[in-house]
Amino acid sequence: MQKSRFEKEREWAEAQKMVWEDFLPKLAALKSFEAAKLLVNQAPRPDAAGRKYYSNLGFFLQGFSVPRGSNQTERLHYIQFIQHLDEAGMLKPNAAEDIIKNLINSLDEHLYT
């Protein structure tokens, strides 16, 4: 028997949720650029549920710019990650301030989109 569109969407949403619940503590625990790159490398295949979270992080790591598809929780954890990098001296002086400012501004923008 073929699944209905509703059943497929429900299964996709549940799979997304499962990946998110696995990904979030790993994102929250990031303390180094190397660890972040390793996490991105654990991404599900391109057409799999939850791939977007890993893709968003990968995009963020390329230039510390805000991924459009990221949610507020991801962005808050990106701020925390940048703070860890800055505290460890892994960023250029004053770089964290600008990156965090952009992330905070994106949180405000996200409320209106």
Q: What is the mean pLDDT of each run of 10 residues along the chain (113 residues)?
A: 90 97 98 97 96 98 95 97 96 95 85 49
Predicted pLDDT of residue 113: 46
Is 109:100 a contact under the CB 8 Å cutoff?
no
Q: Which two tokens stand for residue 105?
A: 């501004």
Predicted pLDDT of residue 112: 47
Burial of 20 (0-12, 13-18, 19+ CB in 10 A): middle
Predicted pLDDT of residue 1: 79
Query: At 46, which helix (H) or strand (E)?
Result: none
Give one word for 65, left, alpha or beta, with left for phi > 0 and alpha for psi -120 to 50. Answer: beta
Q: What is the pTM of this model?
A: 0.91
